[in-house]
Structure 1
Amino acid sequence: MSNMNYAGLKVLLSRYNASGLQVLAFPSNQFGGQAPASNECERAFAYKKVGVPYGAFPVFDKVDINGPTGLPLFRFLKSQARLPLCAGCETAWNYEKFLVDEHGHAVSRYASATSPLEAESKIRELLGLTD
């Protein structure tokens, strides 16, 4: 699952970063203990896996996503953008993705198993790019 997500993010960044697409990454160790390293190591790992230069997009320090210690940003995102059949559900696993417009509204939510490329048409629409 992770390789598909990293590859998809690389494609989207290469196509749309110059048009305004921003990727924000929030490592979390809440999902099977998959981010046990230091914040700096997790950051370096993300850049290496996506295959972009260090600093190409923000990789924040590790955060909690779910529960009472969850970052308020994720409570907001989950309340705004819902997965099908899952109104306000907790994030189920790493690599869940939220698409946020230029006004800070969460417009789409994609499950971990969904390729980032599935968001491409919506990204193009939000960036005002036409075919």
Structure 2
Amino acid sequence: MSSDKTFFDFTVKDKTGADLPLSKHKGKVVLVVNTASKCGFTPQYAGLEKLWKTLSEKHPEQFVILGFPCNQFGGQEPGSNDEIQEFCQINYGVTFPILGKVDVNGGSADPVFTWLKSSTPRFFGMVDRIMWNFEKFLVGKDGTVKGRWSSVTKPESLEAEILKELEK
């Protein structure tokens, strides 16, 4: 990946499979999370939704959480995009965007995840690998990665870091 790229230079697929240019979120603080519906960390959807509602209310149109479902870890996201949307809505009342299912590792990894990983070297000694579901990346208003957290990090614990970026 070219080092002069930012998060906002990528295009991903939305929940319907249509192209979604991430430039749509240019100037916002973005929390990117690879998600799964049948994982021990799945209850983090509740924390993500609470964080989304709290920060969106305080900072309208300045913050977004983007969920990227992934089935690469123990087959824990086997459903279709429609099934994933329904699960998130019914079980956790998710209102932040859940995008189309992606791969985050290997040769078929979505380019935005290849870029996110390369922007945070030496995470747990692994430069080029997402370790598990619900890994989190914080992208600043300038489109660069400001932080990366493992699956065990609860979304609520990121509020101060996100607020710091929002106030810049």
Q: TM-score range by the shorter chain?
A: 0.7 to 0.9
Task: Say if 1:9 and 1:50, in contact at 8 Å, map to a contact too.
Answer: no
Task: Decide which structure has greater helix share.
Answer: 1
- Return the offset for 1:51: 2.1
User: Counterparts of 1:69 and 1:104 in 2: how far apart (Å)?
Assistant: 23
The yes-or-no answer on 1:102 pairing with 2:141 is: yes
Deviation, 1:37, is 1.0
Report which of the two has the higher share of strand: 2
* Alpha-carbon spacing, 1:76–1:101, altered in 2? closer, same or farther (3 Å): same
Match of 2:116?
77
Instruction: Give the one of 67, 80, 83 matched to 1:25.
Output: 67
Structure 1, unpaired ranges of 5+: none
The reply on whether 1:2 has 2:50 as its aligned counterpart is: no
Task: Describe how 1:43-58 pairs up with structure 2 within 5 A.
Answer: 43-52=85-94, 56-58=95-97
The CA RMSD over aligned residues, in Å, is: 1.8
After superposition, the C-alpha distances for 1:72-116 in whole angstroms (9 at most, x for unaligned) are: 100111111346432524011111111111121111111011101
Among the aligned pairs, what percent are the same residue? Answer: 38
Unaligned regions of 5+ residues in structure 2, if any? 1-40
Given residue 158 of structure 2, which amino acid in structure 1 is its aligned partner? A
Structure 1 residue identity aligned to 2:74: G
Q: Which residue of 117, 127, 130 corresponds with 2:156?
A: 117
Question: Which residue among 37, 40, 46 is the counterpart of 2:79?
Answer: 37
In the alignment, the residues of structure 2 paired with residue 104 and residue 77 of structure 1 have an alpha-carbon distance, to the nearest angstrom, of 10
TM-superposed CA distance for 1:61, in Å, is 1.2
> Is the Cα contact below 8 Å between 1:100 and 1:106 reproduced in 2?
yes
Give the paired residue count: 125
Q: The residue matched to 1:24 in structure 2 has which SS?
A: strand
Aligned partners of 1:128, 1:49: CA distance in 2, in Å?
Answer: 32
